[in-house]
Amino acid sequence: MIRNISPEGSDRSDLADSSSRPDVADPSAVPIRPAVSVLMLRDGDTGLEVFVQHRVSTMDFAAGVVVFPGGRVDPIDEQTAASIAVPDPQTHQGAWKDSTIAEVAEGWRILLATAVREVEEETGAVLDTAGLKPWANWVTPAGRPRRFDTYFYVVSAGDLESARHQTTEAHSSEWMSVGEILTAETEERLKLMRPTLVLLRELAAFKTVAEVVGFDRTIDPVRPEFPGRHG
């Protein structure tokens, strides 16, 4: 059974990376940086599988937790964004219309450029931007030493068998079934931060990758001051 999560700030998922959190003297001074995370999905024998990374315990952010490939937006992404082409730019513009990236000219292209770069750097897989589907937007709560405005995508990765472990930020990377990860979290064998936990629980409702990528998704940004429907 997948456990219920408590209100923001009181669930163990909110403390999953507590070992890497120093005290913050002035929470308002911590910048919120745009970042991207990609849920690479494939159909498995027991349901959906997702490519995950097991972060090393010495990291200064998200130490020891399970995450999806991704990272923050870098200046190089702003330079390469102009070359990003997708068949349906309106879909991406509409998906992020309530997110802060909408305030940046061609911001959606920058996010896609980041997704492609980060996934290739961390897994060796080269994404086709046409397959990246906007899925969620979460902002790190105030009081954390690092804060990110993270944009999540899902992508059918059945043809990305080249994905492998090649990042020093994690001690291992692997394909795991969504159900297996959630069971391990419930049994406290794996640590997940709240966004990861919530997104995996959402994916548990789908039987195939085709159902996920074909789902008519409305993105409700989850911000600390406006938690949204995800808690």
Residue 27 pLDDT grade (very low, low, confident, very high; cuts 50, 70, 90): confident
The rounded percent of the chain whose pLDDT value lies above 90 is 63
pLDDT at residue 73 tops 90: yes
Q: Cα separation of 230 and 13, whole Å?
A: 13
pLDDT at residue 117 tops 50: yes
The predicted model scores a pTM of: 0.89
**Does residue 75 or residue 30 have the better pLDDT?**
75
Nearest to 133 by CA among 22, 28, 40, 9: 40
- CB-based contact 126:116 (threshold 8 Å): yes
Residues 6+ apart with CB under 8 A from 158: 42, 43, 209
- CB-based contact 40:50 (threshold 8 Å): yes
Residues forming beta bridges with residue 48, ordered by sequence position: 43
> What CATH number is given for 30-217 in this structure?
3.90.79.10
Range name among 51-65, 142-156, 159-173, 210-224 with the lowest pLDDT average: 51-65
